[in-house]
Structure 1
């Protein structure tokens, strides 16, 4: 499954990652790479909890990126 993840650096230099499709699913790291690893782990736990509690699992996204030359 694919989900969009947003990673931003806060004022203290920590990278905060969140998954908009999974409300409240947020993690952080000292680098973008660490934040991405941590949010993947958080997302897996979130989805497993939904499965255990028979809650609906949000659908996977299909997204394309387009490069535009300026």
Structure 2
């Protein structure tokens, strides 16, 4: 069993789940659906990939101002 790291945020009427370990994201109308869709998307991605699982050592969150 693999463990993945993700972020989850609301975007308009949907929730967006972004995997931090792989370049995979998904969405759903609820948090649970977004996470279930992300799990399925990552599983499909890993079926077709020989990419090793990266080790996440530090995660930060914050905000940036743009002009």
**TM-score scaled by length of structure 2:** 0.73
Structure 1: unaligned runs, 5 residues or longer: 63-70
Query: Which structure dedicates a bigger proportion of its chain to strand?
Result: 2
Q: CA RMSD in A?
A: 1.7
Unaligned runs of 5+ in 2: 58-67
1-structure distance, mates of 2:19, 2:51: 16
Which runs of structure 1 show a deviation greater than 2 angstroms over 4 or more consecutive aligned residues?
59-62
Corresponding pairs, count = 56
* TM-score with structure 1 setting the length: 0.70
Q: Could you report, residue by residue, the CA deviation over 1:18-60 in whole angstroms, capped at 9, with x for unpaired residues? A: 101101x01000000100110000010011111xxxx222146
Q: What is aligned with 2:39?
A: 40
